[in-house]
Structure 1
């Protein structure tokens, strides 16, 4: 297990092949946040900017030292499960943040539910009703994003839609929500294909989609793996409109796909284009603050859909920790429960990717303020709809 531990009170990071730390054992008053991210493996293009963004986290929250233990789950659900279990049972985490993509995030959710510790997922995982009591999501729900794509398809008069998505919970969630968003309209899905995150070829799937002669195609992938179907569709002469999902919203995807990405349309969080938002958008100020910091540190166009989620997790923590501290001391089951309850009680938490209002029945907590529709024009993101 590759482990990264850092105590923000010391502002230092160490990455080793064994458990290690440059900080002393946290005092009882420390608020401990356990984090598992996919900084290696197929979803590393999501996990790395999230890890990078955590350098924005402060040394303390509400006057209490903030102690963070960060583990790499290598994009593997089994490892994510083990990480989450260790973070709670060995590191005494008060709350868990992670993981980066759907499969490992679902594995963490199982542990959160079992051990009664709140989870802030950075992936828009879909869970059966009643099973997400301890799981809250920072990433926008697929249902919200799929509605945006479906509405645009119908406005453009597209009748025949092709679909190719990951052969896991992310791809299935997108297919289900696109079908629901198109239900009752004359726009129908006429071809459905799947591929694995680590696949190096999708030629056979793309040929079947092209043969169905769709007006538009939706690619339900994430990270740079979303570029493969985009490139292959163009190589096979497809000239219809190609849509992507918010999982593909990074300049890395544009870089990998090259000219094949031109004209692609996708929904994304507003933090990807804060400069293009109207002044009235509540997400504009935190989005600008994040982008200016991140690109000042990592270079122009290094922003992604994924990194801001880690910063948004901090903004949520800064609202709920002071509330929980009034109820119990960190390091106790009562404090874990108080954090969970505060997630549901705090309202209008303004962040980069949305304004959060979690409720007992909605553990996504965002509305249309959490999405924009973008198009790739000359290798840049252009705002189409807000």
Structure 2
């Protein structure tokens, strides 16, 4: 009798699991909730889960609940490959929300492509999706290095800056930003008079910044992610450099403000609009979406969202929109993402195409500064 009861229970559990699976659409996540990039990945996951919750509260997609299964990659390339293979092995995952770490995104490209799995990555390097003909299954949700640099360098040109110096992290994000800056600076009338780099494990960038100081630039750009960028800014102030200091869009993060402290005041950062909603005109197409997102995020998590939360939120919502349009066939989801036009998100207004897997439009970017430890529009 006990054996029969056990078999009955197992059969019932299997039946319930199958029924639950039939009523669920599963997407996979590869967001870093521990490790050096947890300050990016955890907000990204929080934003993604908020999107899932809101979608399900409105009835899901065609009556089915959306489920996000996130595997923590820890910002590690090898673990990212293992994580994506685990998600692909489940068989019922129809799309992926990719890592915040550009390096991890690069590491899994071949696996994702080989599986014909649509993925919206949260890495900020253009190379993740270039050329789109060879990476047809992969899209980006963040603002890219070239996009934000165009806003940054336009500001330099307006200020009459001619000579710039660059300090970048020796990481895929840092080197991609360096390469694009070197490539495009001349078109804004800028000359790079010094270029230095540092390892992510470095605890002092004084030697590199001392060399930069000797080049007498009009402005300095620090292009990095993680704690190293705060160390670099502190070293910059300690050395008494008085050239204007620009940061990458990875610095538009509360954790950076906490680590850099007063040293962050007066820096300039190209960014999404999430920190300056009240300064936006009512005609801005993102204003209503941003206000609603911030309100709902604070209600759920009890704190304001970092910009990276918007990346995860946008990625899930765009995947959901593609599923509503195309169903759960992976190839059709990919085509539907590529066909998205004028999707108003938190990070940007998006429009993809066969030759554009970046999505984010230029007018989604603003230039911020820091005043008394808070983000504000630069004037």
Superposed pair shares fold, TM > 0.5: yes
Structure-2 residue corresponding to 1:6: none
Alignment of 1:31-110 (within 5 A): 31-56=25-50, 57-58=52-53, 59=56, 60-110=60-110
Pair 1:178 & 2:178 matched = no
Describe the SS at the equivalent of 1:67.
strand
Q: Is 2:48–2:315's contact at 8 Å kept on the other side of the alignment?
A: no
**Residues paired across the two proteins, number:** 354
Two-structure CA RMSD over aligned residues (Å): 1.8
Pair 1:187 & 2:190 matched = yes
Distance 1:244 1:299, change over 3 A: farther
Structure-2 residue corresponding to 1:27: 21
Pair 1:373 & 2:375 matched = no
Distance 1:235 1:154, change over 3 A: same
Which of these residues, 283, 287, 291, is aligned with residue 290 of structure 2? 287
Q: Is 2:122–2:141's contact at 8 Å kept on the other side of the alignment?
A: yes
Q: Which moved more, 1:42-51 or 1:106-115?
A: 106-115
Describe the SS at the equivalent of 1:322.
helix
The alpha carbon displacement at 1:182 in A equals: 1.7
Separation of aligned partners in 2, 1:221 and 1:215? 20
Which of these residues, 311, 314, 317, is aligned with residue 312 of structure 1? 314
- CA-to-partner distance for each residue in 1:73-94, whole Å, 9 max, x for gaps? 0101111111111111235311
Q: Which moved more, 1:202-211 or 1:252-261?
A: 202-211
- CA-to-partner distance for each residue in 1:120-145, whole Å, 9 max, x for gaps? 10112322413220000001121110
Structure-2 residue corresponding to 1:361: 355
The alpha carbon displacement at 1:112 in A equals: 1.3
> Which has the bigger relative contact order, CA under 8 A and spacing at least 6?
2
Pair 1:244 & 2:259 matched = no
Gaps of 5+ in 1: 1-22
Bigger share in helix: 2
Q: State the TM-score, normalized to the length of structure 2.
A: 0.89
Pair 1:269 & 2:278 matched = no
Q: State the TM-score, normalized to the length of structure 1.
A: 0.87
Describe the SS at the equivalent of 1:72.
coil
